[in-house]
Amino acid sequence: MSEFVLVINVGSTSVKADLINPTSGKCDGKLRIERLGSDQAVYSVNNENRGPAPSSHDEAIRTRLPELLEGKRASLVAVGHRIVHGGKIYSDPVVIDQEVMKQLEMLSPMAPLHNPVALMAVRAAVLLITEVPHIAVFDTGFHTTIPDAARAYALPTRLVQEYDLRKYGFHGTSHDFAAKQIAAYLRTDLQKLKLITCHLGGGCSVCAIDGGRSVETSMGMTPLEGLIMSTRCGDLDPTVLLRLQQNAGYGTRDLEYLLTQQSGLLALTNGRSDFRDIERGAKNGLQDCLYAIDVFCHRLIKYIGSYLAVLGGADAIVFTAGIGENSAWVRRQICDRLICFGVHLDDDANYSVGVTEDIPVVEITDSNSRLRAFVSRSNEALSIARSTHELLLT
Protein backbone atom coordinates (compact mmCIF):
# COMPACT_ATOMS: atom_id res chain seq x y z
CA MET A 1 0.00 0.00 0.00
CA SER A 2 1.26 3.52 -0.83
CA GLU A 3 2.32 5.79 1.99
CA PHE A 4 1.39 9.44 2.01
CA VAL A 5 2.54 12.57 3.75
CA LEU A 6 -0.09 15.26 4.08
CA VAL A 7 1.62 18.60 3.44
CA ILE A 8 -0.12 21.69 4.77
CA ASN A 9 1.03 25.09 3.53
CA VAL A 10 -0.97 28.11 4.57
CA GLY A 11 -0.52 31.72 3.53
CA SER A 12 -2.29 34.80 4.81
CA THR A 13 -5.22 34.24 2.44
CA SER A 14 -4.70 30.68 1.27
CA VAL A 15 -4.66 27.07 2.41
CA LYS A 16 -2.94 24.38 0.34
CA ALA A 17 -2.97 20.73 1.35
CA ASP A 18 -1.37 17.96 -0.71
CA LEU A 19 -1.24 14.20 -0.22
CA ILE A 20 2.20 13.25 -1.47
CA ASN A 21 3.96 9.93 -1.83
CA PRO A 22 7.46 10.98 -0.72
CA THR A 23 9.17 8.17 -2.60
CA SER A 24 7.55 8.41 -6.02
CA GLY A 25 6.78 12.11 -5.69
CA LYS A 26 3.23 11.51 -6.92
CA CYS A 27 0.44 13.67 -5.61
CA ASP A 28 -2.70 11.73 -4.71
CA GLY A 29 -4.99 14.59 -3.83
CA LYS A 30 -4.95 18.32 -3.30
CA LEU A 31 -7.09 20.89 -1.63
CA ARG A 32 -6.87 24.58 -2.42
CA ILE A 33 -8.52 27.54 -0.81
CA GLU A 34 -7.60 30.93 -2.27
CA ARG A 35 -8.60 34.45 -1.34
CA LEU A 36 -9.70 33.21 2.05
CA GLY A 37 -11.67 35.75 4.04
CA SER A 38 -12.96 37.62 0.97
CA ASP A 39 -16.27 37.19 -0.84
CA GLN A 40 -14.31 35.85 -3.83
CA ALA A 41 -12.93 32.91 -1.85
CA VAL A 42 -12.47 29.79 -3.98
CA TYR A 43 -12.37 26.26 -2.66
CA SER A 44 -11.40 23.21 -4.72
CA VAL A 45 -10.51 19.57 -4.20
CA ASN A 46 -8.46 17.91 -6.95
CA ASN A 47 -9.02 20.94 -9.21
CA GLU A 48 -12.83 20.63 -8.90
CA ASN A 49 -14.51 23.71 -7.54
CA ARG A 50 -16.51 23.04 -4.42
CA GLY A 51 -18.53 25.38 -2.31
CA PRO A 52 -19.09 27.13 -0.08
CA ALA A 53 -15.58 28.30 0.81
CA PRO A 54 -14.69 28.39 4.51
CA SER A 55 -14.24 31.75 6.19
CA SER A 56 -11.07 31.08 8.24
CA HIS A 57 -7.91 28.96 8.25
CA ASP A 58 -9.17 27.08 11.28
CA GLU A 59 -12.52 26.29 9.64
CA ALA A 60 -10.70 25.27 6.45
CA ILE A 61 -8.64 22.65 8.28
CA ARG A 62 -11.44 21.40 10.57
CA THR A 63 -14.18 21.10 8.01
CA ARG A 64 -12.58 20.74 4.56
CA LEU A 65 -9.51 18.61 5.21
CA PRO A 66 -11.59 15.51 6.12
CA GLU A 67 -12.94 15.58 2.56
CA LEU A 68 -9.41 15.31 1.12
CA LEU A 69 -8.49 12.55 3.56
CA GLU A 70 -11.59 10.42 2.94
CA GLY A 71 -10.52 6.79 2.43
CA LYS A 72 -6.81 7.75 2.70
CA ARG A 73 -6.20 7.98 6.42
CA ALA A 74 -4.88 4.43 6.75
CA SER A 75 -2.06 5.29 4.31
CA LEU A 76 -1.08 8.51 6.06
CA VAL A 77 2.35 8.36 7.74
CA ALA A 78 2.82 11.99 8.82
CA VAL A 79 1.66 15.54 8.40
CA GLY A 80 4.31 18.05 7.23
CA HIS A 81 3.64 21.70 8.01
CA ARG A 82 5.42 24.50 6.19
CA ILE A 83 6.55 27.01 8.79
CA VAL A 84 8.13 30.12 7.33
CA HIS A 85 10.28 31.30 10.25
CA GLY A 86 12.19 28.99 12.59
CA GLY A 87 14.18 31.80 14.21
CA LYS A 88 17.42 30.84 15.97
CA ILE A 89 15.71 27.89 17.59
CA TYR A 90 14.77 25.70 14.64
CA SER A 91 16.55 24.90 11.41
CA ASP A 92 16.01 21.16 10.85
CA PRO A 93 12.52 19.66 10.70
CA VAL A 94 11.08 18.93 14.14
CA VAL A 95 8.20 16.84 15.53
CA ILE A 96 5.54 19.22 16.79
CA ASP A 97 4.55 18.98 20.45
CA GLN A 98 3.17 21.48 22.98
CA GLU A 99 6.65 22.96 23.58
CA VAL A 100 7.28 23.46 19.85
CA MET A 101 3.89 25.15 19.49
CA LYS A 102 4.77 27.48 22.37
CA GLN A 103 8.08 28.39 20.70
CA LEU A 104 6.38 28.93 17.34
CA GLU A 105 3.97 31.30 19.02
CA MET A 106 6.93 33.31 20.31
CA LEU A 107 8.37 33.47 16.79
CA SER A 108 5.16 34.89 15.29
CA PRO A 109 6.32 38.51 15.27
CA MET A 110 9.29 37.51 13.08
CA ALA A 111 6.93 36.61 10.21
CA PRO A 112 3.62 38.27 11.00
CA LEU A 113 1.98 37.43 7.68
CA HIS A 114 2.95 33.76 7.78
CA ASN A 115 3.73 32.24 11.18
CA PRO A 116 0.49 33.06 13.07
CA VAL A 117 -1.78 31.53 10.40
CA ALA A 118 0.52 28.51 10.07
CA LEU A 119 0.31 27.96 13.81
CA MET A 120 -3.47 28.25 13.67
CA ALA A 121 -3.47 25.52 11.02
CA VAL A 122 -1.08 23.36 13.07
CA ARG A 123 -3.38 23.57 16.11
CA ALA A 124 -6.47 22.65 14.09
CA ALA A 125 -4.69 19.81 12.27
CA VAL A 126 -3.21 18.33 15.47
CA LEU A 127 -6.74 18.06 16.90
CA LEU A 128 -8.11 16.56 13.69
CA ILE A 129 -5.33 14.06 12.89
CA THR A 130 -4.15 12.33 16.03
CA GLU A 131 -2.86 9.02 14.63
CA VAL A 132 0.41 10.23 12.98
CA PRO A 133 3.17 12.71 13.93
CA HIS A 134 3.02 16.32 12.81
CA ILE A 135 6.33 17.72 11.65
CA ALA A 136 7.34 21.35 11.11
CA VAL A 137 9.59 22.10 8.12
CA PHE A 138 11.13 25.58 8.11
CA ASP A 139 11.70 27.90 5.16
CA THR A 140 14.69 29.30 7.03
CA GLY A 141 16.34 25.88 7.52
CA PHE A 142 18.18 25.71 4.18
CA HIS A 143 19.91 29.02 4.84
CA THR A 144 21.69 28.10 8.08
CA THR A 145 24.86 27.63 6.00
CA ILE A 146 25.05 31.33 5.07
CA PRO A 147 28.34 32.67 6.50
CA ASP A 148 28.21 35.25 9.29
CA ALA A 149 29.66 37.95 7.05
CA ALA A 150 26.69 37.61 4.69
CA ARG A 151 24.18 37.40 7.54
CA ALA A 152 25.22 40.48 9.47
CA TYR A 153 23.43 43.78 9.73
CA ALA A 154 25.97 46.44 10.72
CA LEU A 155 24.21 47.42 13.93
CA PRO A 156 25.39 47.55 17.57
CA THR A 157 26.09 44.08 18.98
CA ARG A 158 23.84 44.61 22.00
CA LEU A 159 20.82 45.28 19.78
CA VAL A 160 21.71 42.50 17.35
CA GLN A 161 21.86 40.00 20.22
CA GLU A 162 18.87 41.18 22.17
CA TYR A 163 16.53 41.44 19.19
CA ASP A 164 18.05 38.76 16.99
CA LEU A 165 18.69 41.17 14.11
CA ARG A 166 20.24 39.21 11.26
CA LYS A 167 19.53 37.68 7.89
CA TYR A 168 17.61 34.40 7.98
CA GLY A 169 16.48 33.89 4.39
CA PHE A 170 13.30 32.17 3.19
CA HIS A 171 11.88 29.96 0.41
CA GLY A 172 14.52 27.46 1.54
CA THR A 173 12.55 24.37 0.52
CA SER A 174 12.09 25.82 -2.96
CA HIS A 175 15.74 26.84 -3.53
CA ASP A 176 16.95 23.49 -2.19
CA PHE A 177 14.50 21.58 -4.38
CA ALA A 178 15.43 23.56 -7.52
CA ALA A 179 19.16 22.97 -6.94
CA LYS A 180 18.68 19.21 -6.47
CA GLN A 181 16.41 19.05 -9.50
CA ILE A 182 19.02 20.77 -11.70
CA ALA A 183 21.81 18.48 -10.43
CA ALA A 184 19.63 15.45 -11.23
CA TYR A 185 18.86 16.83 -14.71
CA LEU A 186 22.56 17.47 -15.41
CA ARG A 187 23.49 14.11 -13.87
CA THR A 188 26.14 16.02 -11.93
CA ASP A 189 27.07 15.87 -8.28
CA LEU A 190 25.37 18.83 -6.60
CA GLN A 191 28.60 19.35 -4.61
CA LYS A 192 30.29 20.43 -7.84
CA LEU A 193 27.71 23.00 -8.91
CA LYS A 194 27.44 26.73 -8.35
CA LEU A 195 23.89 27.87 -8.92
CA ILE A 196 21.83 31.03 -8.66
CA THR A 197 18.21 30.09 -8.07
CA CYS A 198 15.48 32.67 -8.61
CA HIS A 199 12.20 31.88 -6.84
CA LEU A 200 9.80 34.31 -8.49
CA GLY A 201 6.25 33.86 -7.22
CA GLY A 202 3.96 36.04 -5.10
CA GLY A 203 7.01 36.37 -2.84
CA CYS A 204 10.38 36.49 -4.62
CA SER A 205 13.94 35.67 -3.58
CA VAL A 206 17.30 34.80 -5.12
CA CYS A 207 19.78 32.38 -3.61
CA ALA A 208 23.47 31.72 -4.28
CA ILE A 209 24.10 27.99 -3.82
CA ASP A 210 27.62 26.59 -3.69
CA GLY A 211 27.86 22.80 -3.64
CA GLY A 212 24.25 22.45 -2.46
CA ARG A 213 24.72 24.96 0.39
CA SER A 214 23.04 28.34 0.54
CA VAL A 215 25.75 31.03 0.85
CA GLU A 216 23.66 34.16 0.22
CA THR A 217 20.02 35.01 -0.28
CA SER A 218 18.05 38.16 -0.91
CA MET A 219 15.46 37.94 1.87
CA GLY A 220 16.59 38.98 5.33
CA MET A 221 15.41 38.84 8.93
CA THR A 222 11.91 38.67 7.49
CA PRO A 223 10.58 37.87 4.00
CA LEU A 224 10.45 41.57 3.15
CA GLU A 225 14.04 42.32 2.11
CA GLY A 226 15.42 41.95 -1.39
CA LEU A 227 13.47 41.67 -4.62
CA ILE A 228 10.30 43.47 -5.58
CA MET A 229 7.32 41.19 -4.93
CA SER A 230 3.62 41.28 -5.66
CA THR A 231 2.74 43.52 -2.69
CA ARG A 232 6.10 43.78 -0.84
CA CYS A 233 8.63 46.49 -1.65
CA GLY A 234 11.88 44.57 -1.02
CA ASP A 235 15.01 46.69 -0.40
CA LEU A 236 14.48 50.21 0.84
CA ASP A 237 16.55 52.92 2.48
CA PRO A 238 15.32 52.75 6.13
CA THR A 239 15.23 56.53 6.21
CA VAL A 240 12.11 56.33 4.03
CA LEU A 241 10.31 54.87 7.05
CA LEU A 242 11.61 57.57 9.38
CA ARG A 243 10.43 60.20 6.94
CA LEU A 244 6.97 58.70 6.71
CA GLN A 245 6.81 58.44 10.50
CA GLN A 246 7.94 62.00 11.07
CA ASN A 247 6.19 63.75 8.21
CA ALA A 248 3.20 61.67 7.20
CA GLY A 249 2.00 60.39 10.58
CA TYR A 250 2.62 56.70 9.85
CA GLY A 251 2.65 54.43 12.92
CA THR A 252 4.24 50.97 13.19
CA ARG A 253 1.17 49.11 11.97
CA ASP A 254 0.62 51.53 9.10
CA LEU A 255 4.22 51.01 7.99
CA GLU A 256 3.97 47.26 8.21
CA TYR A 257 0.80 47.31 6.14
CA LEU A 258 2.34 49.70 3.63
CA LEU A 259 5.51 47.65 3.15
CA THR A 260 3.92 44.21 3.03
CA GLN A 261 0.49 44.79 1.46
CA GLN A 262 0.49 48.02 -0.50
CA SER A 263 3.89 48.11 -2.14
CA GLY A 264 5.83 46.14 -4.77
CA LEU A 265 4.24 45.47 -8.15
CA LEU A 266 0.86 46.56 -6.80
CA ALA A 267 2.22 50.02 -6.08
CA LEU A 268 4.33 50.34 -9.24
CA THR A 269 1.37 49.49 -11.48
CA ASN A 270 -1.20 51.43 -9.44
CA GLY A 271 -3.30 48.41 -8.69
CA ARG A 272 -2.06 45.19 -10.29
CA SER A 273 -0.33 42.58 -8.18
CA ASP A 274 -0.80 39.50 -10.37
CA PHE A 275 2.04 39.16 -12.87
CA ARG A 276 -0.27 37.72 -15.56
CA ASP A 277 -2.31 40.94 -15.52
CA ILE A 278 0.87 43.03 -15.53
CA GLU A 279 2.29 41.20 -18.54
CA ARG A 280 -1.01 41.52 -20.37
CA GLY A 281 -1.03 45.25 -19.59
CA ALA A 282 2.57 45.60 -20.76
CA LYS A 283 1.81 43.79 -24.02
CA ASN A 284 -1.03 46.27 -24.55
CA GLY A 285 1.43 49.12 -24.05
CA LEU A 286 0.32 50.26 -20.57
CA GLN A 287 3.17 52.41 -19.25
CA ASP A 288 2.65 51.49 -15.57
CA CYS A 289 2.99 47.81 -16.40
CA LEU A 290 6.04 48.26 -18.63
CA TYR A 291 7.65 50.33 -15.92
CA ALA A 292 6.85 47.76 -13.18
CA ILE A 293 8.45 44.94 -15.19
CA ASP A 294 11.54 47.07 -15.79
CA VAL A 295 11.90 47.88 -12.09
CA PHE A 296 11.29 44.23 -11.15
CA CYS A 297 13.93 42.99 -13.60
CA HIS A 298 16.44 45.66 -12.65
CA ARG A 299 16.33 44.60 -9.01
CA LEU A 300 16.63 40.95 -10.00
CA ILE A 301 19.61 41.45 -12.32
CA LYS A 302 21.36 43.50 -9.64
CA TYR A 303 21.13 40.53 -7.27
CA ILE A 304 22.15 37.98 -9.89
CA GLY A 305 25.20 40.08 -10.81
CA SER A 306 26.28 40.37 -7.20
CA TYR A 307 25.77 36.64 -6.61
CA LEU A 308 27.95 35.84 -9.61
CA ALA A 309 30.66 37.75 -7.75
CA VAL A 310 29.83 36.11 -4.39
CA LEU A 311 30.12 32.65 -5.97
CA GLY A 312 33.12 33.53 -8.15
CA GLY A 313 31.14 32.57 -11.25
CA ALA A 314 28.29 30.10 -11.62
CA ASP A 315 27.27 27.11 -13.71
CA ALA A 316 23.64 28.08 -14.10
CA ILE A 317 20.82 30.50 -13.37
CA VAL A 318 17.59 28.75 -12.45
CA PHE A 319 14.09 30.25 -12.73
CA THR A 320 11.31 28.75 -10.63
CA ALA A 321 7.81 29.47 -9.16
CA GLY A 322 4.84 31.18 -10.89
CA ILE A 323 6.65 34.04 -12.63
CA GLY A 324 9.96 32.17 -13.07
CA GLU A 325 8.26 29.21 -14.71
CA ASN A 326 5.82 31.17 -16.85
CA SER A 327 7.17 34.56 -17.80
CA ALA A 328 9.33 34.27 -20.93
CA TRP A 329 9.44 38.08 -20.89
CA VAL A 330 11.19 38.28 -17.51
CA ARG A 331 13.56 35.41 -18.38
CA ARG A 332 14.50 37.13 -21.61
CA GLN A 333 15.13 40.50 -19.97
CA ILE A 334 17.39 38.81 -17.43
CA CYS A 335 19.25 36.51 -19.84
CA ASP A 336 19.85 39.32 -22.35
CA ARG A 337 21.61 41.30 -19.65
CA LEU A 338 23.80 38.32 -18.83
CA ILE A 339 25.27 38.01 -22.33
CA CYS A 340 28.52 39.50 -20.99
CA PHE A 341 28.74 36.55 -18.59
CA GLY A 342 28.32 34.03 -21.41
CA VAL A 343 24.55 33.46 -21.45
CA HIS A 344 23.17 32.62 -24.93
CA LEU A 345 19.42 32.43 -24.74
CA ASP A 346 17.65 29.91 -26.97
CA ASP A 347 14.63 32.06 -27.86
CA ASP A 348 12.47 29.19 -29.10
CA ALA A 349 13.11 27.18 -25.96
CA ASN A 350 12.42 30.21 -23.78
CA TYR A 351 9.09 30.98 -25.43
CA SER A 352 7.86 27.40 -25.65
CA VAL A 353 8.84 26.20 -22.15
CA GLY A 354 6.10 24.45 -20.23
CA VAL A 355 7.53 22.59 -17.26
CA THR A 356 5.33 19.74 -16.10
CA GLU A 357 5.37 16.95 -13.55
CA ASP A 358 6.91 14.69 -16.22
CA ILE A 359 9.32 17.30 -17.63
CA PRO A 360 10.22 19.39 -14.58
CA VAL A 361 13.39 21.01 -16.02
CA VAL A 362 13.94 22.73 -19.37
CA GLU A 363 17.14 24.42 -20.50
CA ILE A 364 16.61 27.79 -22.17
CA THR A 365 20.22 28.45 -23.27
CA ASP A 366 21.92 27.03 -26.35
CA SER A 367 25.05 24.91 -26.60
CA ASN A 368 27.32 28.01 -26.90
CA SER A 369 26.36 29.20 -23.45
CA ARG A 370 29.14 29.37 -20.86
CA LEU A 371 26.59 30.25 -18.21
CA ARG A 372 23.48 28.13 -18.66
CA ALA A 373 19.89 28.97 -17.73
CA PHE A 374 17.08 26.60 -16.77
CA VAL A 375 13.44 26.67 -15.86
CA SER A 376 12.70 24.34 -12.98
CA ARG A 377 9.21 23.39 -11.84
CA SER A 378 8.79 24.28 -8.20
CA ASN A 379 7.27 21.67 -5.93
CA GLU A 380 7.48 22.90 -2.36
CA ALA A 381 4.95 20.27 -1.27
CA LEU A 382 7.19 17.43 -2.45
CA SER A 383 10.25 19.04 -0.87
CA ILE A 384 8.38 19.31 2.46
CA ALA A 385 7.03 15.75 2.13
CA ARG A 386 10.57 14.44 1.63
CA SER A 387 11.99 16.36 4.59
CA THR A 388 9.08 15.14 6.74
CA HIS A 389 9.61 11.55 5.64
CA GLU A 390 13.38 11.72 6.23
CA LEU A 391 12.78 12.77 9.83
CA LEU A 392 10.45 9.78 10.31
CA LEU A 393 13.19 7.45 9.08
CA THR A 394 15.85 8.77 11.49
* Residues that bind ligand ADP in the complex, under the rule CB under 6 A: 201-203, 230, 274-276, 279, 321-323, 326-327
Nearest distance, CB of residue 323 and ligand ADP, angstroms? 4
In angstroms, give the least distance from the CB of 230 to ligand ADP: 5
Q: Which residue's beta carbon is nearest to the bound ligand ADP?
A: 322
Q: Are 92 and 18 in contact (CB under 8 A)?
A: no
Q: How far apart are CA 147 and CA 310, in angstroms?
A: 12
Residue 55 CB, shortest distance to ligand ADP, in Å, is: 20
From 18, 58, 92, 139, active-site residue: 139
Q: Which residue's CB is nearer to ligand ADP, number 94 or number 300? A: 300
Which residues, including other chains, have CB under 8 Å from residue 86's CB and lie 6 or more apart?
107, 136, 138, 139, 140, 141
Quote the least distance from Cβ 76 to ligand ADP, whole Å. Answer: 24
Question: What end-to-end distance do the CA atoms of the chain give, in Å?
Answer: 21
Give whichever of 112 and 211 is closer to ligand ADP, judged by the CB atom: 112
Judged by beta carbon, residue 323 or residue 391, the one nearer ligand ADP is: 323
Q: What are phi and psi of 67, to 5 degrees?
A: -65, -45
Which residue's CB is nearer to ligand ADP, number 315 or number 319?
Answer: 319
Nearer to ligand ADP, 201 or 226 (CB): 201
Beta carbon of residue 120, minimum distance to ligand ADP (angstroms, whole number): 19
Least CB distance from residue 264 to ligand ADP, whole Å?
Answer: 10
139 a catalytic residue: yes
Task: Specify the residue, 203 or 220, whose C-beta has the smaller distance to ligand ADP.
Answer: 203
Report the amino acid identity of residue 112: P
Q: Which of 321, 346, 317, 351 is nearest to 334 (CA)?
A: 317
Write out the catalytic residue numbers.
139
